[in-house]
């Protein structure tokens, strides 16, 4: 097991630079558990989508938001389903946004669309990291998840990525009904041998409105068993740590230096712009002000001079997006400094580095954390630099919601 003591806090991303996320809403078919915005098919809209996304990114660049982009992430959906259009998208984005030297450029892909020539072309265009949705190396589990590929296709995709020389991550799902401990163990063993330098482990979550949700509600399939998921999360930590990929976040394991920098932006309060339908953006109040003033968007209530951040998601359908890529955002969520402090503390506790005592104080969470410590969910550790930090424990990873809920809602944790 990893011991959080001695692990350096992860490099914090400065708040000002804006990372860029592009949402590609196309898939070959929809998986039973997935609630991301994406469309099965939609061939005719793929080219127009790329045009629209490039137009939108170009628009943002006028606000000087994309001058120093630490990370570009193209997710979905299945971006590689776009084929050569994806290469065009990557090239166009890199022309539009000014990437910081050494910036992380990630493309998500799925086994059935991972093609050696496409991968090579993407690397040529500037991509340096791939995230592959393998989910499992067991055909039975893949079928239960409603995935449209088999284990063999997953293996082939990992070989293509490994041979390409780029760093890549794979996603795995555990806690699936019918998935045995042995199957999970075998999948983990393959994962550590396939060349991935980063592995994400997700216990299957039942999201509202998905086909999985419907079949559980109607009694067709049983709900995932949380005990199985707990066992599998523990097994993953053992196997991945032993293979040199320690956990650095609730669901993330990586070789040191191969942590997903883009995801760290989300967990450390960095700014990001989302391009594409249903992509979320978060900006500092100053950055948002620049945009909102010119676009005539909602401004923070004048009674709230402490507004520190704004977050918004443009919920346009794919068709609407292609027609009008610059439509107004939906409701904008304004966070004041207190909320920002609590949210950053909550998200920071998702990472092994945890949060500094100063951060805990800013979030007014010291008492809450002491209560959580009594329950064995967090503890104080000393970082490499000798700084005291609050960090989530082994038990805390499994019962993270207890920690997140208490810190976010400002205490109220049950002290024994």
Partner 1 sequence: MTDPTLIRNFSIIAHIDHGKSTLADRVLQLTHTIEDRDMVEQVLDSMDIERERGITIKAQAVRVLYTADDGVEYTLNLIDTPGHVDFTYEVSRSLQACEGALLVVDATQGVEAQTVANAIMAMNAHLEIIPLINKIDLPSADAERVRHEIEEALAIPADEAVLASGKTGEGVRDALEAVVRLVPHPVGDPHAPLKALIFDSYFDAYRGVIALIRVVDGHINAGMRVSLMAAGTAIDVEEVGVRRPVHVPVDRLGVGEVGYLVTGLKDTSLVKVGDTVTLAKHGATEPLPGYREVKPMVYTGLFPIDGDQYPELRDALDKLRLNDPSVIYEPESSHALGFGFRCGFLGLLHMEIIKERLEREFDLDLLATAPSVEYHVYTTNGEMISIHSPQDMPDPGTVDHIEEPYLKVTILVPPEFVGAIMELTELHRSTFVNMQYLSATTVEMHYEMPLSELIMDFFDQLKSRTRGYASLDYEVTGYRTSKLVKLDVLLAGKPVDALSFIVHKDKAFARGKMLTEKLRGIIPRQMFEVPIQAAIGGKIIARETVRAMRKDVIAKCYGGDISRKRKLLEKQKKGKKRMKQVGTIEVPQEAFMAILKVDD
Q: Would you tell me which residues interact with partner 1 (CB under 8 A)?
A: 21, 23, 36, 175, 201-203, 205, 226-227, 229-230, 233, 250-251, 263, 266-267, 272, 274, 278-282, 311, 313, 333, 343, 346-347, 350, 375, 397-402, 404-405, 408-409, 412, 414, 416
Q: Decide whether 21 or 184 has the Cβ nearer to partner 1.
A: 21
Q: How far apart are the first and last CA of the chain?
A: 27
Distances in whole angstroms, Cα of residue 327 to Cα of each of 85, 137, 330, 338:
23, 42, 9, 30
Residues 103, 70: Cα–Cα separation, whole Å = 5
Query: Residue 22 Cβ, how far from partner 1 at the closest point, in Å?
Result: 12
**Residues forming a β-bridge with 382:** 388
Query: Residue 405 Cβ, how far from partner 1 at the closest point, in Å?
Result: 4
Query: Residue 410 Cβ, how far from partner 1 at the closest point, in Å?
Result: 10
Q: Decide whether 263 or 383 has the Cβ nearer to partner 1.
A: 263
Query: Residue 17 Cβ, how far from partner 1 at the closest point, in Å?
Result: 15
Q: Decide whether 164 or 408 has the Cβ nearer to partner 1.
A: 408
DSSP 286-349: HHHHHHHHHHT-----TT-TTEEEEEEE----HHHHHH-TTPPPSSPEEEEHHHHHHHHHHHHT
Residues 157, 29: Cα–Cα separation, whole Å = 18
**Nearest Cα residue to 79 out of 136, 133, 126, 143:** 133
Residues 62, 60: Cα–Cα separation, whole Å = 5
Q: Decide whether 65 or 229 has the Cβ nearer to partner 1.
A: 229
Q: How many CB atoms lie within 10 A of CB 227?
A: 9
Q: Decide whether 150 or 333 has the Cβ nearer to partner 1.
A: 333
Q: Decide whether 374 or 384 has the Cβ nearer to partner 1.
A: 374
User: Quick one: angle between helices 226-242 and 181-193, nearest 10?
Assistant: 30
**Residues forming a β-bridge with 288:** none
The phi-psi region of residue 118 (left if phi > 0; otherwise alpha if psi is between -120 and 50; otherwise beta) is: alpha
Query: Residue 50 Cβ, how far from partner 1 at the closest point, in Å?
Result: 20
Query: What tokens were used for 5?
Result: 């003591």
Query: Residue 202 Cβ, how far from partner 1 at the closest point, in Å?
Result: 5
Q: Decide whether 299 or 395 has the Cβ nearer to partner 1.
A: 395
Q: Decide whether 115 or 231 has the Cβ nearer to partner 1.
A: 231
Q: How many CB atoms lie within 10 A of CB 349?
A: 31
Q: Are 94 and 127 in contact (CB under 8 A)?
A: no
Q: Decide whether 218 or 416 has the Cβ nearer to partner 1.
A: 416
Query: Residue 386 Cβ, how far from partner 1 at the closest point, in Å?
Result: 30
Query: Residue 403 Cβ, how far from partner 1 at the closest point, in Å?
Result: 9
The phi-psi region of residue 32 (left if phi > 0; otherwise alpha if psi is between -120 and 50; otherwise beta) is: alpha
Query: Residue 84 Cβ, how far from partner 1 at the closest point, in Å?
Result: 27
């Amino acid at each position: 097991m990893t011991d959080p003591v001695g692990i350096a806090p992860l490099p914090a991303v400065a708040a000002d630079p804006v990372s860029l996320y592009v949402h590609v809403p196309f898939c070959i078919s929809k998986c039973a558990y997935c609630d991301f915005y994406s469309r099965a098919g939609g061939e005719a809209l793929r080219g127009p989508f790329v045009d629209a996304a490039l137009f939108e990114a170009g628009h943002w660049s006028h606000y000087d938001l994309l001058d120093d982009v630490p990370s570009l992430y193209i997710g979905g959906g299945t971006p590689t389903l776009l084929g050569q259009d994806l290469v065009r998208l990557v090239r166009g984005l890199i022309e539009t946004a000014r990437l910081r030297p050494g910036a992380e450029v990630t493309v998500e892909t799925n086994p059935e669309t991972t093609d050696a020539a496409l991968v090579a072309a993407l690397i040529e265009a500037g991509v340096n990291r791939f995230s592959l949705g393998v989910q499992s190396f067991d055909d039975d589990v893949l079928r239960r998840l409603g995935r449209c590929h088999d284990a063999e296709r997953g293996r082939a995709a990992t070989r293509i990525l490994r041979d390409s020389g780029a760093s890549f991550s794979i996603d795995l799902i555990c806690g699936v009904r019918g998935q045995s401990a042995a199957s999970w163990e075998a999948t983990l063993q393959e994962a550590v041998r396939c060349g991935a330098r980063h592995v994400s482990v997700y216990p299957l979550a039942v999201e509202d409105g998905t086909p999985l949700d419907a079949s559980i509600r109607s009694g067709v399939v049983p709900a995932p068993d949380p005990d199985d998921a707990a066992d599998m999360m523990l097994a993953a930590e053992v196997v991945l740590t032993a293979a040199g990929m320690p956990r650095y976040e609730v669901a993330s394991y990586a070789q040191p230096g191969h942590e997903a920098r883009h995801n760290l932006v989300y967990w450390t309060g960095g700014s990001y712009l989302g391009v594409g339908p249903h992509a979320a953006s978060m900006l500092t109040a100053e950055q948002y002000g620049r945009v909102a003033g010119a676009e005539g968007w909602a401004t923070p209530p004048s009674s709230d001079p402490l507004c520190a951040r704004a977050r918004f998601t443009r919920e346009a359908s794919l068709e609407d997006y292609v027609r009008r890529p610059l439509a107004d955002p939906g409701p904008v969520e304004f966070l004041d400094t207190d909320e920002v402090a609590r949210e950053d503390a909550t998200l920071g506790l998702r990472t092994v580095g945890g949060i500094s005592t100063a951060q805990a104080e800013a979030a007014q969470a010291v008492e809450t954390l002491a209560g959580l410590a009594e329950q064995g969910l967090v503890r104080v550790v000393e970082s490499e630099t000798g700084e005291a930090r609050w960090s989530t424990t082994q038990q805390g990873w499994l019962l993270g919601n207890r920690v997140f809920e208490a810190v976010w809602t400002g205490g109220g944790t049950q002290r024994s």
